[in-house]
Structure 1
Amino acid sequence: MNTGTLTQAILEFPDNRLLIDLCGEYDRNLTDIEARTGVQILRRGNQLAVHGTDEAIAEATEVLQHLYERLEQGREVSRGDIDREFRLSDDAGQAPDEQLDMFGSGKVEIKTRKKLIEPRTDAQKAYVKALFANELAFGIGPAGTGKTYLAVAVGVNMLITGLVDKIILCRPAVEAGERLGFLPGTQEEKVDPYMQPLYDALNDFLPGKQQAKMREEKIIEIAPLAFMRGRTLSNAFVVLDEAQNATTMQMKMFLTRLGEGSRMVITGDRTQIDLPRGVPSGLADAERLLGKVDGISFNYFTAKDVVRHPLVAKIIDAYEKDVEQS
């Protein structure tokens, strides 16, 4: 909690209905902001009285005003929006990211059929801009940083706006430290457990019936990496997820599928390689060989970009520190 001389600031909000939404159910949004800043927020009519140190009040006030402006634009305010405001506020005083400068500043949004997606961190913001600007892009970092989620969102956006004709999502079918054994059923049923995270992302962006129709018509394909061999992928948005589990030969095979009018995104986490001992990761080789090739972007994430439960970032930090010390 902040220390120092306590003061008070009064914020006035002209639309009482929007103020109710700003506060959230049972003032949950205010409670979140209080916990993040150490201030106390009291509601008085159409005003909010913010008590705390000058620094804490300034931070809380900025977040409250940005969230209210969001409501004035007809948007909702969720706990994720509050988290994004704090994350972007924390990064505001740091040196500008080269990737952000390259593509200009301003609001970054991804429109899909079901929702509007907004990056929560500067690293996510730079990544989304890179996906729109490059035909081949890499997103590398720990789990929970939105690498795959944002890539699929951009793919859906490009599909519904006519920039591509289809979406192809694939993963290496490698077991994560487990032996799943023989899986009964059709070919699709056998690989579904590996592909479930991709289905989950799609479900957030497309209505169920529309998604089912697109999959039936092969406008959206979800398949193991091995199924890409021999294909030339034209006018498609192609995502390779969990790329750290692709071998060097698989990675080369995948990258050379890139066809006219297509975009490719490769996502992976170098700390979660499930390949057999002694088999090098194709993601590491791609970084080494392609890092300086024009037209290919590499965006990196850290534990501070994790947008899952706050404990996930702490868990990742703990494991990274253990690796560094061993």
Structure 2
Amino acid sequence: MILRHAFIPHDNQRLAHVCGALDEHLRTIEAAFDVSIRRRNESFRIEGARRAAERAVAVLQQLHERAAAPIEPAELQLLLVQALQDEGPALRVVQSGETVIEPAGEAPEIVLKTRRAELAGRTRNQVAYLRNILGHDITFGLGPAGTGKTFLAVACAVDALERGSVQRIILTRPAVEAGERLGFLPGDLAQKVDPYLRPLYDALYDLMGMERVAKAFEKGQIEIAPLAFMRGRTLNHAFVILDEAQNTTPEQMKMFLTRIGFGSRAVVTGDTTQVDLPRGQKSGLVDAAQVLRQVRGIAMTRFTAADVVRHPLVARIVEAYDAARPRPVGDRPEA
């Protein structure tokens, strides 16, 4: 099918922003929807399957509406994910205001308070994940890389801290190397574990800014530590996130989950297809997903390749690996 669309009146600056440098945005849209796009001045010709062509036109229209300034590739990726899901955003994160729930069609709209101007739950699973975090004391987020498991959990933690519903944020992950042997790392203990925890720092900096994060560390409002440091503690009035949980053992997972105290909320994230434990060692995340699936007060959210909000190629890579190595959800892949 061939669709034609023209932007009237003609505006070279907006058209340049829509197309991107060297038509980079057009090529990205073509790859996402498997269509062909040709342009002459303000007129676009889109060729492909009917539904795909219609989605491509819809994304072009949205880009044109936002094209007063250059459009970042990340913004385009989020629009593509939203279009592929046939859903509008159901969660926004704004700079000011408290968390409120408002009607938005059939589902409420959740607004969080963070430094970031606007953040949307772009897929059905992301929206369910956020609702689970807000409605349960313990939430599991399982799925491939790029689905927003960690970032959205940190956003909820920052919101809870800003509103005063928790007194501190505790972020932890197991110090397990991803299939490599790095040897002894130089420096003191903090410097040794820092490489393992860097993704958590990145999320905090993005949501709060470096200055605000530094002050929160000084006040003890944010703590980042290896999972081994959790033993023996009771975490009251805290928002606790265990990242890369696929690399915990069942014993470590049980130890972590039993640290949760009064007024606390915990989120556990991980990808059961990327276990870096020694061969033969069962993942604590896989074990917990099986053992705790019927426990009241615990929510499980499973993400798929359709929830990936990185480069479209990432979603296709995840799908290709899943197709090449089919297995029941939760099983550890062969090395």
The CA distance in 2 between the partners of 1:58 and 1:318, in whole Å, is 26
For 1:263, the aligned partner's letter is R
> 2:83 pairs with 72, 77, 89, which one?
89
Partner of 1:51: 45
Q: Does 1:61 align with 2:79?
A: no
TM-score (normalizing by structure 1) = 0.81
Identity of aligned residues (%): 48
One-letter amino acid of the counterpart of residue 239, structure 2? F
Instruction: Determine if the alignment matches structure 1 residue 141 to structure 2 residue 143.
Output: yes
Using the TM superposition, give the Cα deviation of residue 251 of structure 1 relative to its aligned residue in structure 2, in angstroms. Answer: 0.9
1:233 to 1:32, Cα distance in 2 relative to 1, 3 A: same
1:35-61 deviations in whole A, cap 9, x for unaligned?
Answer: 5442334454xxxx3323565553233
Give the Cα separation in 1 of the matches to 2:181 and 2:52.
51
Whichever structure has more helix as a proportion of its residues is 1
Does the residue aligned with 2:282 lie in a helix, a strand or coil? coil
Residue matched to 1:262: 264
Q: CA RMSD in A?
A: 3.1
**Distance in 1 between residues matched to 2:176 and 2:298, nearest whole Å:** 26
Match of 1:127 among 121, 126, 129: 129
Flag the 1:314–1:30 CA change in 2: closer, same or farther, 3 A: closer
CA distance in 2, matches of 1:110, 1:82: 23
Query: Which range moved further: 159-168 or 119-128?
Result: 119-128
Letter in 2 for 1:143: A
Give the letter for the 1:84 counterpart. Answer: L
Pick from 28, 37, 40: which aligns with 2:38? 40
Distance 1:69 1:295 in 2: 43
Stretch of structure 1 that moved more, 208-217 or 24-33: 24-33
The CA deviation at 1:240 is 0.2
Q: Secondary structure at the match of 1:168?
A: strand
Shift in CA distance, 71/234, structure 1 to aligned 2, threshold 3 Å: farther
Q: How does 1:232-243 map to 2 (within 5 A)?
A: 232-243=234-245
Q: 1:317 to 1:135 in 2, by over 3 A?
A: same
Secondary structure in 2 aligned to 1:313?
helix
Q: Which runs of 5+ in 1 are unaligned?
A: 94-102
Q: Could you list the runs of 5+ residues in structure 2 that have no partner in the other structure?
A: 88-104, 328-333
Q: Which amino acid aligns with 1:61?
A: V
| Mapped partners of 1:87, 1:25: distance in 2 | 21
Given that 1:110 and 1:118 are in contact with CA atoms closer than 8 Å, whether structure 2 keeps it comes out as no
Letter of the structure 2 residue corresponding to residue 141 of structure 1: G
Give the match for residue 112 of structure 1.
114
